[in-house]
Structure formats: structure tokens, C-alpha cells
Structure 1
Amino acid sequence: MRSVVLIFDSPEAAAAVDAALSAVGAQAVDHWLRRPDPSSEGDQGERGPGSAFLASIDRMPAALAPFEVAGADIEPVPAGGLTPPPALQAYRLALRAEVDVIRDSHIAAGVPVDLGGGLVFTVDTRNDTDFRNILGLTTFALLAITAQAENVLIPFRAADDLTRLLTPEQVIGLSQAVTMRVAALYAVAWEGKAAIDAADTHTALDLLDLDAGWPT
């Protein structure tokens, strides 16, 4: 297996290079659409005009000979040398995992709530303990409402470490806000994963913006 740099200057030449690589079971490891100024410093490959494929192949087919740049050392080369792109499904799985990380980071950032009357704060949703606390308070609030208990105030400590006394109805409002926020984040994550699954090329996956669309 050896590394080669193949330079071309037209879509037709690019198609010919790609077809010749496919014929020997190889593919481009990297592809530069814009080459440096031919007058700039560098080796022959770096000074060549046009576009280039960086490929790793077992043998050089005759059809590629006119495009090869002998001794070229085009940067950037991946650390550790040339590596083939990941298999498409492995790439999908990696991106799906990245969506999970982004989703969870948004959840852990907390949920801003506005209960009216200037009662605005952020609810901690950092971990399971925070969610169990919200669930417990919500259950208590529902019991108080069902029992038609009067003058009930429930202490709640928000992300700013200030404790506020909330009515059962306000606790229910807080719980609803948290639930809707988390549901919205999961909905965006599902859309992102659907887009990942629908992408059928590495290029299509590269163009996905996984940071877009999340509620602020």
C-alpha cells in the first residue's frame, strides 16, 4: 500500500480519477477542492493548480499515471499517516452518539421557568437526583390539590441556590415547564438522528449541522 497525490483541473478529470481508483478497489482519503496559488512555496504537489485527491492504493493503474505527482507531500495529512474514511454506518452511529451528548448537555443546563408575577428562575435538571426531586414535589403538590388543602407552600431551591415558597399550582406549572422542555429537546434529537439515517454518503453526513435547531 502506498500513498499518492493525484491532481486534476476539471470535473471530467475528477470523474476519470475516481473511476480509476474504484477499478482497483481504492478510494480517495482526502480531497482538496481549491489548490494553493501555484507561485506559493511548497513541493510540486502543493504548487500544482487545480484540485487533488490524496489516495492510498496497492498498485497504480495506468489510467492514473498522468495525474500522479511524484514525491508530493500535501498537507494536511491526518496524524499518524493516511487512514481511510470510516464505514458509512459507523459514521452514522458516531454522529447519533454525538446528538445524544448535545441533547444531554442541553438538558443538564437547566430549565428556565416563568411562573408569573415576577417569579422567574432556572430549575436544576443536572441528573436523576434533580428529576426525582421535581417528581417528589409534583406528587406532593397533586396530593395537596386533591385534598383541597389550604395555605400550602412548598419550598423549592432553584439553580441560583435561593429557596422560594411555591403554591401547589406553581409547582405543577414548574413540572410542566420541565417536561415540555425535555420533550422538545428529545424531539430535536429524533429529527437529527432521522437526518443522519437518511444521509447516504459521507459528504451528506459532513454537511449536517448537529448544533442547529435546539431550543434556546
Structure 2
Amino acid sequence: MGGEVTKLRGAGHDITEREEHERTARQRQKQLSLFFEESPLGAVQWDSEFQFERMNRRAEEILGYSEAELCGESWEGIVAGDDRGQVGDAVEKLLDADGGTHVINRNVRKDGEAITCEWHNRVVTGADGDVQTIFSKFQDVTDRERRKTELEEYETIIEALSDAVYVLDEKGQFTYVNDELVELVGYDRETILGNTPSLIKDEEAVQRAEQELGRLLSSDGPEAVTFEVTVYPREGDPIVCED
């Protein structure tokens, strides 16, 4: 009789342990689902063949598709044709259970609009090392990438000029200087950037520049203004320039 009681107690212990494990697993799944659904970024879960399994509301907003419309579909359906080679390489890497990838590529919304998105992807494998699922977080960076391209084009044009050129931000600090200006004033680029024109101009010249800028920004102001200004390089005599 004592042996039978021992067996019953052991079985009860095993059942309790299993129930606790299942309860913990359900809690983790609930937390993961909450994190997935409420993410401010688009979130997609893919199956082991890299087909849509589910997506959150933000992903639907970015891509213009509902979850039901994409469920079971391949990643290729939302990627611009010219970018499929790049994305295909990332997919192949993920399906080889090789950690995660970061990709910026053009996607195509349901309405046909091409957008640029930044994707962070992470593969989940089982105990045997096989791919079980892939999670992706992504955001629309179309405006950011457009501004980046415009800035690069702008800097290319400026660098082609033979004149000394600089750009100030709204605080009046240097945000860009070309090589000609660096050579003219004798300060290294790191010293100039983030500094103000008072580094190379006297107070009178700085005030004059602010006045002329005010004229340019006024509704009835001129399209351009030029005036002479004296620049004080790090070494040597002052230089009279046209600003």
C-alpha cells in the first residue's frame, strides 16, 4: 500500500510541474502577442518558407493590405522588382538559420505606390536548429531616404564649386563647410562644424549677415544679397571676401 501512495504522489508532482510549464508558456505567448500587436512599428511573422503568417495593424497601414489578404503569400509580392535580388539574399540567409538581418529596400503598397522601408528580421529556430518562424519589424523611411539623397546631391554640387561655401542651421551654427572654406580659414572641419560665424568673423560682420538674412526671408525681400565681409583665419592676415 505504501508503494502505491508513493507512485500517486510522484504522478501528482509530474502533473503539477507540467501544468506550471504550460502556464508559463501561455503567459510568454500572451506577452509576445501583446508586444507584437501594440508595436509602433510594422510587425510581420513569417513561416519557415518566408510566407506571411500574421501582421499587426501598423504593418497593414504601411503596406495597405489586410492580414487576410497577405496570409500565405510570399515576401516577393510586396518587394519592388529591382530590389528582389537584395531581399532574396537576406531571406536565404535567414532560412539558413543565420541569426538576423537588416535591410533597407523599396516595397510596393497595395495601391501600387513604391515606398522605402527599413527592415529588421530575426529567425527563431527549434532545438534541432531548424527554422520555426521569422519575425520582422519595419518602418516607412521614404521621406528620410529622400532627404538623404537630396543632401548628398546638394553636397556633390557644392563640392564642385571653386568658392568657399558654408551652411548654417536655425541656431546659426555651421552644419556644412566645403574644402575651400576649410583651406581659406585654416581651421580643421571638426572645429568649424557646430561653431558659429563668430569663429571667423567679427561682431559687426555677424550682425550684418543676420540683417541680410532677415531681408532674404521677408515676404518682399530680394532673391539674393551679396556684401563684403572680412574673414579672420586661424593664422595670417584678415581676408576680404564677398558673402
TM surpasses 0.5: no
Query: Given the two structures, how large is their TM-score scaled by the length of structure 2?
Result: 0.25
RCO greater where, 1 or 2, for CA within 8 Å and sep 6 or more?
Answer: 1
Higher strand content, 1 or 2: 2
Q: Considering only CA atoms, is the larger Rg found in Structure 1 or Structure 2? A: 2
Query: Given the two structures, how large is their TM-score scaled by the length of structure 1?
Result: 0.27
